[in-house]
Structure 1
Amino acid sequence: MSNGSEASETTSWWSRPAGGREVLQIAVPMVVTTLSWTLMQFIDSAILMQVSGTAMAAAYQAGIIWFASISLFWGICSYSATFVAQYFGDEQPNKIGPAVWQGAWLALSFSLLVPVAQWFAPQLFDLFGHEKELARLEALFFQILCYGAPGMLIAQSLECFYSGRGKTWVVMVVDAGAVVVNLILALMLVRGWFGIESWGIDGAAWATVLAQWWRAVSYAVLILLPANRAAFNTADFKPDRQLLRRMIRFGGPSGMQMMLDVTGFALFMMFVAKIGVAEAEATSLAFRVSQVAFMPVWGLGMATAVLVGQKLGEDRPELAQRAARTTLSMSLVYMGVISLVFVFAPRVFLQTFFTHGEAPVAAATEEVSPGAVAAESTTAAHDEPAKAGVEAMTSYLMRFVAAYNMFDAAVIILVSVLRGAGDTRFVMIVSCFMSAMVSLGSYLGVNVFNFNVYGAWWFIAIWVSTLAVIYVLRYRTGKWQAMRVIDQIHHAH
């Protein structure tokens, strides 16, 4: 082990184990994959914006609530990647196939809750007190998306067969294909291409549903190829109680963390939407744009979890730590550049949504008075002056995103480190506290202290920064380096 460590120190940052090259080999395809997910939603938003701003805002907010409702199950199913990574690092390939299929079984069992979620949707969105048409479209979009939940969860489980072993280029190809499927269907069903009558917001939802099922079928076919059945025992798809319990034990807190984080974020969105329709549109757009910009960091985070799992499976925590530092440094540099673009050239990201000429560009880049923007944006969303007001407000909100970008990048990478090691209980406890804080703070800010949209965004920026400090402190304790989610039988050095 010492010889390997000494050799690694004589090589460059790029070529050494867990260095830049190894990280990017796994991360680049995952960046494309995560971009494809967000691009799928971005395409729907851009197309729906041509229908109406209300339809775009409804689809985004309903999509967030929908993902919040399945995020517990998504977190458990996606945790198969950590099992695959550690089994792969510990040279136990015969256990990789069964581990992947346990996630698929869990996905199928979770799908039994779909009818309940669909029935409850109208009552759920009525609770937020949104404008009547906005609430109706939110419920409709949510109900249709529910048909895609089983496909999304199954695909997420089966994807781990490749991502956990670092074969992320396969994930990239399959998910990029799903984006193409979604784009074609969205243009056909929303814009009415090829002579098909436009379905409006329904068409965008169905395009997403069918794209998710396309992913699930594609992964199932690939996993059951003869070579994979022979090498990784992928034909063994029977339920394994012991493995299921272990997956729920470690993946449950991870899924709970994701559910709490997404729910807190979703509630923030829904409370801000009570301030006004223009504020809802601007907030939806600002988060949508930030999601697209953030996807490379999410890809780096997924690579971090895989590398940490593999290196700990090899019983080489020093390389797991190096992988974490490598991905963190890449993420911070990238987000620093993006933050500058958000502040000085927001139109780069907004031009897809606003195509009404040069006047709004000046409004978007000048110092904007919050009160003036809010007043300008109270008219109908498809009115040109109102669109200019929404664009200006969105540009202003992007400055808040720039303020917390690097803190958020640190959170993504460090949570991935802890998840890859199995330190999911700590992550869940933090999420319980911090999600309660963001939910309660958003409610009090909007309903008691009468925050305007900018006050609400100041709150979220401070919240993200606090979260980053907590995870930095946990990472520095080093406790995660001694954790494992599997029973090791090999120590490969």
Structure 2
Amino acid sequence: MRATLILAWPMALTNLSQMALLATDAAFLGHLSTEALAAATLSGTLYWTMLAPGFGFSFAAAAMLAQERGRRVGHVRAMRRTLRAGGWAALLAALPGMVLLWHGGAVLRALGQEPGLAIHAQEFLRFVLWGIFPFCLFLTLRGFMAAMERPWPPLLIGVLAVPLNALLDWVFIFGHLGAPALGVQGAGIASAGANLFMVVALALFILRDRKLRRYRVFGRFWRLEAGRLLRVLRLGLPVAAQMLLEIGLFSAVGLVMGPFGAQAVAAHAIALQIASTTFAIPLGLSQAATARVGLAIGAARPRAAWRAGWTAIGLSTLFMGPMAAMMLLAPGALTRIFLDPMAPGAPETAALAGTLLLFAGLFQLSDGVQVVAAGALRGLHDTQVPMVIAGLGYWALGFTAALILAHPLGFGPAGIWAGLVIGLGGVAAALTWRWARLSRRGGLTAGRRLAPIPA
């Protein structure tokens, strides 16, 4: 438990700091105009969706790096080659997303969004997209630091990026210190600049650290090894697809909320923001589980991998239990943080948000368990079956149930969130069953099927 927490908490706090970047943009744009804030909100949904492939390949590289370090023999050269392949995979993942975000306004209009807001969103996206590749590369380097069990430098850099982003927002949105007032475009510049700072700062730390320097992680970085790259892609594509399925589910739920009116959309946004904040902690535990399970498998210690996976799942349950209780027992207190009680429609929005938070409380445990179980399975290099489970659970089960409960059965927005409870519960049960089955045998068959590439 101690080893898992030492690795997981810095990673969880790093996740929160990354969420804070777009939240900072939204806070500054909210003081510019409501249209700018709405455009940033729409942009954020599209932006995070396009980051899913980058997360997938960085998580795959992290799993490979952990197993290679656990093997010890020849691990320095093997890790350097995997990290280089992970960087190229990050570039390949970033390019399609950058192209789509460049035309983000047209995409949002095609999804039925208001043309004026779509134009403002495109102004933001055409600048923030230049930060996607640096951010994906930062994620890959963070996976290397996790495999080295050094999570604190990425956390410090991520925390420093938040005030830097705020400063750049202040300068470029409103035109201070001699800079032009660029409005929404300035927020995009600020976020891209913060992402560039994070990857440069972490790269400099790795180059200057005495223990990390010997890995020469940037040596011949321009070389493209097809075999190693294909391994990262084969392992990472299912992870990227799984993340797209989950992010796409919540994005689709947001769109389905639209016909129920502005208050339903606002209540959904409040409940989702609270649930996303608590989710950052299990996500950190998931990343720690990938690293610790991978290290144990690489060292041929299946019993240690079994302990690492179940410990992370148990810790996630211990954390999400009180979070669920808080949402179930005090939903009104949480919603008041986001609403001015004197604003028009605030009482109705608060009441609906409180109802949705009750459902968020019901899926806290399953949401925490499913993401950690998926992380433990990544440590075994088992990604294809979890992707299928995610597709069936999130969409065939969860989204279908949401539509049926919301419309034919007439439960409205509450029915949509009840569908999320059903979908997340199904995925959590299936992924936990798979982890139990693979780890129970001691042989951890998924890890054996994918024999390690020689260094």
Q: Following superposition of structure 1 onto structure 2, how do residues 407-446 of structure 1 map, counting pairs within 5 Å?
A: 407-437=366-396, 438=398
Displacement after TM superposition at 1:465 (Å): 1.2
Give the secondary-structure state (helix, strand or coil) at the position aligned to 2:444. Answer: helix
In the alignment, structure 1 segments of 5+ residues that lack a partner are 1-19, 361-382
Contact 1:282–1:393, Cα closer than 8 Å, also in 2: yes
1: CA distance, partners of 2:7 / 2:294? 13
Give the secondary-structure state (helix, strand or coil) at the position aligned to 1:315. Answer: coil
Aligned to 2:45: 64
Contact 1:48–1:201, Cα closer than 8 Å, also in 2: yes
Give TM-score, length-normalised by structure 2: 0.87
Of the three residues 405, 412, 425, the one matched with 1:465 is 425
> How many residues matched?
445
1: CA distance, partners of 2:327 / 2:30? 21
Displacement after TM superposition at 1:186 (Å): 3.2
Q: 1:109 to 1:297 in 2, by over 3 A?
A: closer
Amino acid at match of 2:46: I
Amino acid at match of 2:379: G
In the alignment, structure 2 segments of 5+ residues that lack a partner are none
Of the three residues 380, 403, 414, the one matched with 1:454 is 414
Displacement after TM superposition at 1:117 (Å): 0.8
1: CA distance, partners of 2:127 / 2:403? 28
Of the three residues 321, 331, 335, the one matched with 2:320 is 335
Aligned to 1:185: 168
Of the three residues 292, 301, 310, the one matched with 2:295 is 310
TM-superposition CA deviations, 1:60-85 (whole Å, max 9, x none) = 34322222233124311332111111
Aligned to 1:86: 67
Q: Following superposition of structure 1 onto structure 2, how do residues 177-256 of structure 1 map, counting pairs within 5 Å?
A: 177-190=160-173, 199-225=182-208, 227=210, 231-234=214-217, 235-237=219-221, 238-256=223-241
RMSD of equivalent CA atoms: 2.9
Aligned to 2:452: 487
Displacement after TM superposition at 1:90 (Å): 0.5
2: CA distance, partners of 1:45 / 1:351? 19
Contact 1:37–1:175, Cα closer than 8 Å, also in 2: yes
Amino acid at match of 2:248: T
2: CA distance, partners of 1:273 / 1:200? 27
Q: 1:273 to 1:46 in 2, by over 3 A?
A: farther
Displacement after TM superposition at 1:189 (Å): 4.3
1: CA distance, partners of 2:6 / 2:98? 41
Q: 1:434 to 1:140 in 2, by over 3 A?
A: farther
1:265 equivalenced with 2:225 (yes/no): no
2: CA distance, partners of 1:97 / 1:288? 38
1:121 equivalenced with 2:104 (yes/no): yes
Contact 1:94–1:231, Cα closer than 8 Å, also in 2: no
2: CA distance, partners of 1:132 / 1:205? 19
2: CA distance, partners of 1:448 / 1:131? 28
Contact 1:86–1:486, Cα closer than 8 Å, also in 2: no
2: CA distance, partners of 1:58 / 1:439? 26
Give the secondary-structure state (helix, strand or coil) at the position aligned to 2:260. Answer: coil
Range moving further from structure 2, 317-326 or 187-196: 187-196
2: CA distance, partners of 1:26 / 1:186? 32
Aligned to 1:275: 260
Q: 1:436 to 1:64 in 2, by over 3 A?
A: same
2: CA distance, partners of 1:37 / 1:178? 9
Q: Following superposition of structure 1 onto structure 2, how do residues 162-173 of structure 1 map, counting pairs within 5 Å?
A: 162-173=145-156
Of the three residues 139, 145, 153, the one matched with 1:156 is 139
TM-superposition CA deviations, 1:403-438 (whole Å, max 9, x none) = 110011110110111111111011122223334425
Give the secondary-structure state (helix, strand or coil) at the position aligned to 2:103. Answer: helix
Amino acid at match of 2:52: S
2: CA distance, partners of 1:477 / 1:114? 36
Q: 1:322 to 1:140 in 2, by over 3 A?
A: same
Range moving further from structure 2, 392-401 or 295-304: 392-401
Contact 2:21–2:191, Cα closer than 8 Å, also in 1: yes
Amino acid at match of 1:225: R
Q: 1:110 to 1:328 in 2, by over 3 A?
A: closer
Displacement after TM superposition at 1:348 (Å): 5.5
Of the three residues 305, 308, 312, the one matched with 1:323 is 308
Aligned to 1:102: 85
2: CA distance, partners of 1:289 / 1:55? 22
Displacement after TM superposition at 1:134 (Å): 4.3
2: CA distance, partners of 1:122 / 1:443? 27
Contact 1:101–1:157, Cα closer than 8 Å, also in 2: no
TM-superposition CA deviations, 1:249-302 (whole Å, max 9, x none) = 112211221122222222222222343222222212221121112211111111
Of the three residues 34, 42, 46, the one matched with 2:23 is 42
